[in-house]
Amino acid sequence: MKARLSMAALMAGLMVSSTAWAAITVRYYNRDSREYTWSVVCSGVKTTVSFGKSQTASVTIQGSGPCTVQTDAGNVVLKGGENLDIKDGRIIIN
């Protein structure tokens, strides 16, 4: 009985820790001279993501994918590994 309880506790701990490490990373080029901060929903958890102005960089969004970025121009679904172009406040997946 104790062995089963210990095994169940171990499995629960592993599942929680693997979820905590989940994240997606995307590379972007922001052509606008404005920084954007948009809401993101990953696995039902809402957070924000910022894209710096006039730069090429990578950004990591905490949470397991796919993630939905909510922009003024509409929603964009990201799975991770995409190359994004940001122009005129719109995200374009290349």
pLDDT tens over the chain, length 94 residues: 666 656 666 565 555 444 456 899 999 999 999 999 999 999 999 999 999 999 999 999 999 889 999 999 999 999 999 999 999 999 999 9
Within 10 Å of residue 28's Cβ, how many Cβ atoms?
Answer: 22
Domain ranges of the chain: 23-93
Classify 23-93 by CATH class.
mainly beta
pLDDT of 71 reads 97
pLDDT of 17 reads 46
CA distance 71 to 41: 12
